[in-house]
Structure 1
């Protein structure tokens, strides 16, 4: 049973409460505050903020004054026709013939019309004269039903798929959006807003969470895909195009330079591996010989593009590329090596830390108005706008997406949307709702009373005239 606090008394010891039962009826009363000034009661709870009553504003009070003026005018007109009826009847009883009968009939019918319309208008907001007449005080007593009916009406007539689709189609959103985006100032504005949103999203995201997700996604993706055939095709293409030769040139050049700088180390290594029974001068001669042959071999590989060793490298790489694509044993070895590398902590740390670098780079680019990211985004938006403004097929595609999305939303969430209307109306205070509605439409309703008086008088005059003419 929702309960809403209405206010505190002057003494501060009681609060005016309203309770709304399951049938939507409102009960009012006073409850003492509990500890801390909060009202307690069995089943009582605060009304949700979204179901708050109407806020009665100064503008509403001004409208209420206008309604009161119109009420005074309508009531004054009723009193006027009543006075006319009394005078005409008196004149008729005094023997005056002719016009008193017509005037009395018109005034009598005018009073009937005025009273009938007064009853009808009053019955909307309260019980006339306080009498428990059925089907009166319609707004206070039927408020929840009216809210439900209004929600159903909106759902059936405004939130249907056909209505939404036709309305969006008639707007021509594609061409309008295209023309708007094609303007440089508008493209700049959209780019700035997108940059702000991107920075905000990246700032809110926790690095640890993103790093864990990125690391898991990369690892899972890498483990799920066999890399051997792909590597084989790539290596085959590189070898066929001769792309590996520059790498061989670099290795040969670096090997030659290293041998020249570390000749003594090479010779010492050869001499150190000689048997202990060989003479030292022999070991030295062998070391020098091995070093010279090795240097000569590397020099020839560096300087001779057609060296046989280079051809052997080409053949080895081509065979290895073929094995990566067709040999199951080679492919299994590559997969095991891939798993071992991905499983190493150092590799996982590198994968996880990549997010921090990417995030910093994207944020910096989003903040810089002259960054390549923002310039390309701006150019892309203007290009998209220009195409949308002229390409009818693209316009139709965009509008189709929007129509489908809007229809999906209204058909899927129509009950939730209409319940917002019915639940909000159900949460309004009945009396305050009646007063506010009367403030907004009461002036026009008082014109109904005035019109009823005038139309009733004319109708009474017409009926009396016909009757007088016939009889």
Structure 2
């Protein structure tokens, strides 16, 4: 089985590979050392009977070393390339291992009670508050949020946004009828007298305009009089019309019960009634509404408004000292201080986080576990074997080393007991 070249491994994996090779060399050295002791003991035990104990210990050590070498090697590949059953366990049973791992994580970690107990013992809100109240941390969050918002805004297509806005406007503004709700709203306004302020504002505006523009009335009526009317009389007519207009507006402003106000109330009351009950009035309103929204000029203004808003937001988000970024940072600092100083708020936040985490775990635990299973299934068997061996292979070499030592001790004990009993 071909291995990944060392130069293609990450720095951490290269370090693990070198550590694995060192431990393999140590374990192999222990096996060779036992073999040398066995040869010496076997060759000289007739002349020096005590060396029989050395031979027995070395023999047991070799057996232990070879047995554990076989066991460790069988996890990752077939020992000596032989097709021995139940070897190369990881590459041949990779998918089953992935499924078992996913089930293990789902059963033991993605359990609602486990998550709730862990989060309940963790002061999440307090730690978040302590971290956020530091201005540099709040600035960091605001900066990251601004960067994300800029990315979203730049990714949005202006045409798509305009289509969405137009679709929403058509669904919620154009298609629903305005007549009945608008008539009901106007009726409530009239009943409460809330429109009187608007009438006063209109009267004040007209009075101010009349006071600033008396010349507009010059010739307003006189130019329509016969030519034989003296010019003095014509000017007098214009002046009279202007004074009457000023007087009328002044009386309207001064008298809350002026007949003109009553006429306005009556007109608005009729309009409110007709909007709710007269099909002709409602149809005229709907036609005017459709004409307004379907106007190319209105669409162009909407597009320009979106473009201006988008560019303004991008500038505000990009500038660290902008009002938007400053307000966001100050708001985050304030949230941190409140989390630190208000136990009730901390408790609510902890409960929200816990409930949200439990909900996500209960709803998506199988999906999270399947992510592990599907990821392992997509892995190449050789690559999977190499990764696992790099992660745990060095520790597994200690099994070989321990097997050598334990085997030597077991061989020595067995030989000693046998020699003592059987001679």
Is residue 176 from structure 1 mapped to residue 132 from structure 2 by the alignment?
no
Match of 1:374 in 2: 325
* Matches of 1:433 and 1:369, distance apart in 2: 46
* Matches of 1:412 and 1:311, distance apart in 2: 68
Q: Given the alignment, which residue of 135, 140, 144 partners 1:193?
A: 144
Structure 2 unaligned spans of 5+: none
Match of 1:157 in 2: 108
User: Cα deviations across residues 111-151 of structure 1 (Å, max 9, x unaligned)?
Assistant: 43333223322322333344332212223322332233223
Match of 1:147 in 2: 98
> Structure 1 residues 306, 289: CA separation in 2 closer, same or farther (over 3 Å shift)?
same
Alignment of 1:35-50 (within 5 A): none
Count of residue correspondences: 409
Q: Given the alignment, which residue of 400, 404, 413 partners 1:453?
A: 404
* Matches of 1:154 and 1:325, distance apart in 2: 65
Matched position secondary structure for 1:264 = coil
Match of 2:241 in 1: 294
* Matches of 1:330 and 1:317, distance apart in 2: 20
Alignment of 1:39-438 (within 5 A): 58-83=14-39, 85-87=41-43, 89-91=45-47, 96=49, 99=50, 102-223=53-174, 224=176, 226-234=181-189, 242-255=197-210, 258=213, 260-269=215-224, 271=225, 281=228, 291=238, 293-304=240-251, 311-323=258-270, 325-326=272-273, 328-329=276-277, 333=281, 336-337=284-285, 339-344=287-292, 345=295, 346-431=297-382, 433-438=384-389
> Structure 1 residues 454, 91: CA separation in 2 closer, same or farther (over 3 Å shift)?
farther
Deviation at 1:182, TM superposition (A): 1.2
* Matches of 2:171 and 2:80, distance apart in 1: 79
More helix, by proportion: 2
* Matches of 1:187 and 1:203, distance apart in 2: 24
Q: Taking structure 2 as the reference length, what is the TM-score of the superposition?
A: 0.79
Moved more, 307-316 or 175-184: 307-316
Deviation at 1:175, TM superposition (A): 1.6
Q: Which has the higher contact order (CA 8 A, sep 6+)?
A: 2
* Matches of 1:237 and 1:64, distance apart in 2: 86
Q: Is the 8 A contact 2:222 2:238 kept in 1?
A: yes
User: Cα deviations across residues 408-457 of structure 1 (Å, max 9, x unaligned)?
Assistant: 44444444544443444444444454455444433433332232232233
Deviation at 1:156, TM superposition (A): 2.6
Matched position secondary structure for 2:219 = helix
Structure 1 unaligned spans of 5+: 8-52, 273-279
* Matches of 1:330 and 1:267, distance apart in 2: 42
* Matches of 2:236 and 2:207, distance apart in 1: 20
Q: Is the 8 A contact 1:252 1:301 kept in 2?
A: no
Matched position secondary structure for 1:132 = coil
Q: Is the 8 A contact 2:217 2:239 kept in 1?
A: no
Q: Is the 8 A contact 1:301 1:310 kept in 2?
A: no
Matched position secondary structure for 1:265 = coil
